[in-house]
Amino acid sequence: MNEEMKWYKQEGSWSFDPPVDKDPETGEDLEKIPFEEYCKKIFDPNKVWDKPEALKGWRHISATMYILSPHVGATLGEFGAEVIKIELPKLGDPMRHTSPFNEVYLWPETDHRPMTGTGMGYLHANDNKYFVTLDYHAPEAKEIVYDLVRISDSLAECYRPGTFYRWGIGYPQLKEVNPRLIYIWLGGFGNYGPRRYGGSYDILGQAVGGLAAITGWHEDFGGHPAKQTNWLIDWYSGLIGVIGVLAAAHYRRKTGEGTFIDLSQISCSTRATGYAFPLYGRFGVVRQRWGNWDTLLCVHGVIMVGKTDDPEHPNPQISEESRYVFVSAFQDEDFRELCYVIGRPDLWEKYCSLKERLKPEAQIEIYRALEEWAADKSRSEVVEILNNAGLIAVPVFSAKDVYECDHYWERGTLRWVEDPIFGHVLVHGATVKMSETPPRIKWIWRPIGADNIRIYHELLGYPLSKLKELWEKGVI
């Protein structure tokens, strides 16, 4: 039996307890404590900084903008990679100029945004990075990129297909400079195909990839295709890109060869549509929008209750946000229990099988009955009643609710960061927990060109006189 996969057999039953381990500080036998306590100790967010980083020694060049492509570098950086973000001089990444801004002023007398006026939407796609400036159009730019590539492991870029190639810094040229380079291009339609030159933003990816068509309420309910509001496909596609880079790194470890990765945002959006394409391919049926309900499960959706949990809050938006509950009772036995809890056993008699409950008219009747039952109750009351009956019900949390929930703080999901320019900033911490090499957020951002000296002078060895000359020419 493989020692790493060994399950310990004790007294005739299989145990899933972790292998014997000792707490390095106390010498405590971790196998003898409850599993929850074991997890708390090995994933303790307060000890993250005492542990090594998984990607320490990896260098990544992020020639990127907006959210999709910068997210690749930010994620690699959280795992310990050294990430160098290249921006155009003075202007920087356009995402710096999106609200909400940290400052109360903008740029009334100049075409360039203030270096401290960076929008908060920029932060999480650009944490843990070193920031340099470079004008790719300048004759000197190509050699600077070559110098960076010679000592780097990977590069991400997001310019229109073929742009870097025309500038002499595309994959075919950079492969000659560093055959081990992992080069990932991220954009809308890919580098080949009839629509390859189309630009892309998150909403375009959602629309053309098929995701927006199944998001929102059906026309019969006054709905229309809707946008996932938080750049969902940008974040999702960026993570797919990270997986591609790490897979290419594994291949390089075996062969010594680099890889060119083409990541199409609309392809990622298409993958996120779930069963829409198998459904159409088999039956010719187009998957429909279903709002806050589910086309495959019932009950499995969001209801509105009658009373708010926060009636005294001065902000009516926050007050109203605390009136929604997600309820799941699609298994027959759970649905039966739900019907008796809300005093509607007739619904169980009428819709005792999942197949019957999935019909539109059935879902309308069932969810209407749930909201009628909840009309004189608050969100917390509905959750408590259903949970006590053994059913799944959770409040729909706002950012305020998440902030006030102890669970997120104990796990390090949220944390305050002291930034020298932004001040005290609330951010979400690294998502995945790793016992030996936990990811971490070291800083949230830096001004445009903040690390030009560090990278160009200290890393590449350019004399300061050369940097002064490049700066005067507008190259950096």
How high is the pLDDT of residue 33? 76
How high is the pLDDT of residue 18? 42
How high is the pLDDT of residue 109? 40
**% of the chain at pLDDT higher than 90:** 64
Q: CA-based diameter of the chain, in Å?
A: 84
59-270+418-449 and 300-398, same CATH topology: no
- Could you tell me if 322 and 401 are in contact, meaning their C-beta atoms sit under 8 angstroms apart? yes
Section 185-198 average pLDDT = 89
- Could you tell me if 227 and 191 are in contact, meaning their C-beta atoms sit under 8 angstroms apart? no
> pLDDT band at 119, cuts 50/70/90?
confident
Q: Quick: pLDDT tens for 315-348.
A: 877 777 889 999 999 999 999 999 999 999 999 9
Query: What residue spans define the domains of the chain?
Result: 3-42, 59-270+418-449, 300-398
* 3-state SS record for the chain: CCHHHCCEEECCEEECCCCCCECCCCCCEHHHCCHHHHHHHHCCHHHHHHCCCCCCCCEEEEECCCCHHHHHHHHHHHCCCEEEEEECCCCCCHHHHCCCECCCCCCCCCCCCCCCCCEHHHCCCCCCEEEEECCCCCCCHHHHHHHHHHCCCEEEECCCCCHHHHCCCCHHHHHHHCCCCEEEEEECCCCCCCCCCCCCCHHHHHHHHCCHHHCCCCHHHCCCCCCCCCCHHHHHHHHHHHHHHHHHHHHHHHHCCCEEEEEEHHHHHHHCCCCHHHHHHHHCCCCCCCCCCCCCCCCEEEEECCECCCCCCCCHHHHHHCCEEEEECCCHHHHHHHHHHCCCHHHHHHCCCHHHHCCHHHHHHHHHHHHHHHHHCEHHHHHHHHHHCCCEEEECCCHHHHHCCHHHHHCCCEEEEEECCCEEEEEECCCCCCCCCCCCCCCCCCCCCCCHHHHHHHHCCCCHHHHHHHHHHCCC
Q: Quick: pLDDT tens for 46-65.
A: 899 999 999 999 999 999 99
Q: Is the pLDDT of residue 7 over 70?
A: no
> pLDDT band at 15, cuts 50/70/90?
very low
Q: How far apart are CA 437 and CA 47, in angstroms?
A: 11
- Could you tell me if 300 and 377 are in contact, meaning their C-beta atoms sit under 8 angstroms apart? no
The contacts of residue 258 (CB under 8 Å, 6+ apart) are 175, 178, 179, 180, 181, 182, 183, 248, 252
- Is this prediction's pTM over 0.95? no
Which CATH code fits 300-398?
3.30.1540.10
Section 172-186 average pLDDT = 98
Helix axes 202-209, 232-255, angle to 10 degrees: 90
Greater confidence (400 vs 109) lies with 400
Q: Is the pLDDT of residue 442 over 70?
A: yes
Q: Is the pLDDT of residue 5 over 80?
A: no
How high is the pLDDT of residue 25? 61
Top mean pLDDT of 104-118, 170-184, 313-327 is at 170-184
- Could you tell me if 51 and 438 are in contact, meaning their C-beta atoms sit under 8 angstroms apart? yes
Name residue, tokens 């900033």.
Answer: 425
How high is the pLDDT of residue 469? 96
Q: Is the pLDDT of residue 132 over 60?
A: yes
- Selecting from 3.40.50.10540, 3.90.25.10, 3.90.1170.50, 3.30.9.10, what CATH number does the domain 59-270+418-449 have? 3.40.50.10540
Name residue, tokens 């649905």.
Answer: 335
- Could you tell me if 424 and 416 are in contact, meaning their C-beta atoms sit under 8 angstroms apart? yes
> pLDDT band at 28, cuts 50/70/90?
low
- Six-digit token string for 449: 């060109």
Q: How far apart are CA 66 and CA 124, in angstroms?
A: 11
